[in-house]
Amino acid sequence: MIHKKVVFMGTPEFSVPILEAIVKSSYPVACIYTQTPKKSNRGQKLNISPVHKYAKNLKLIVRSPKKLNTKEEFEFMKNLNPDLVVVVAYGQLISKKILDIPKEGFINIHTSLLPKWRGAAPIQRSIMNSDLETGISVMKITEGLDTGPVGKIIKIKINELITAEDLSNNLSKISPELIIEVLNDIFNKKTNFIEQNHKLATYAKKIKKNEAEINWNESAKKILAKINGLNPNPGAWFNYKKIRHKIWRARIVEKSGLPGIILDNDFTIGCGDRSLEIIEIQKEGKKKLQLKQFLTGINFKQGDVLK
């Protein structure tokens, strides 16, 4: 095995298994970059990222600058003199000046089949778009947004029951083995990075809160895709009796009725075509419930209108 110095950049839970795989390999991790600690919703306690927590437990060197593209961080990275930097959902743009430091450049594990779904929310957008497949793309980082050449792709199927959380977990499981394979190939000069077809690029914009409201005039398939794509965050919702309800899991049923109307005693909801049967739901301020539990505590009748 060729011993090379690696720097890792990542922030969420998704990144941790990939970092762990590198740490357990023969590649020394010289430093870990992650996002700055954030204040909790209640009080002033600072919460460090999952990557930071993992690194801290192993007493690895961690940096969490508010801004990466500063003279201080440039000098620090330059003095580290890494052979390669691995980026997995870090959360900051990286300047060309810093990108040019490592001998083998920067690589990124991106959760889509590039050039499809470049950007911030590829997992959510692929589900919301009812894509049949997605996967992992390992790419060289360039100045553009996910525009760099791709060295390896792994595909997985998407079905209409899978949520963004499920898909993220599935992709996280296949990534650790992949990253070691990629590192071996890069350092043994076996990886062929191929330019993307930029004409086929689509963009996975960050999810906005106003996208989470359910429009019952849309097809059941499209609404279900939104529910799954926005689970666990921010959660697709509707108003009933002026109270917000989030649907966490549902299924399509072959029942017709007016959009946004409760069609029966099982709280089946009419859509633009077909209907949705709720599996898991959450009333604002309450905990998530299976439908049967939810129905024991709600006074509703067939024909009621949802907003």
Instruction: List the chain domain ranges.
Output: 6-204, 209-296
Residue 66 has pLDDT above 70, yes or no: yes
Residue 98 has pLDDT above 60, yes or no: yes
pLDDT at 22 over 90: yes
CATH 3.40.50.720 fits 6-204, yes or no: no
Mean predicted lDDT score pLDDT of the chain? 95
Residue 41 has pLDDT above 80, yes or no: no
- pLDDT, one tens digit per residue, over 72-96 is 999 999 999 999 999 999 999 999 9
Confidence (pLDDT) at 43: 63
Average the pLDDT over 17-28 and give the result. Answer: 95
Say what percent of the chain tops pLDDT 90: 94
Q: Would you say the pTM of this structure is higher than 0.85?
A: yes
> Which phi and psi angles does 154 have, rounded to 5°?
-125, 130
Evaluate the CA torsion angle 230, 233, 239, 241 in order and state its sign: positive
Provide the pLDDT for residue 135.
98
Q: What is the pLDDT of residue 307?
A: 80
Residue 43 burial by Cβ neighbours in a 10 Å radius (0-12, 13-18, 19+): exposed
Nearest Cα neighbor of 139 from 173, 176, 106, 164 is 106
Q: Measure the CA–CA gap between 18 and 31, rounded to whole angstroms.
A: 15
Predicted pLDDT of residue 3: 73
Is the confidence at residue 44, as pLDDT, over 90? no
Q: Residue 183 pLDDT > 60, yes or no?
A: yes
Q: Is 3 exposed, middle or buried (0-12, 13-18, 19+ CB in 10 A)?
A: exposed
**42, pLDDT greater than 80:** no
CATH 3.10.25.10 fits 209-296, yes or no: yes
**For 269, left (φ over 0), alpha (ψ -120 to 50), or beta?**
beta
pLDDT tens digits for range 240-263: 999 999 999 999 999 999 999 999
pLDDT above 60 (res 163): yes
**Domains 6-204 and 209-296 agree in fold:** no
pLDDT of residue 39: 80
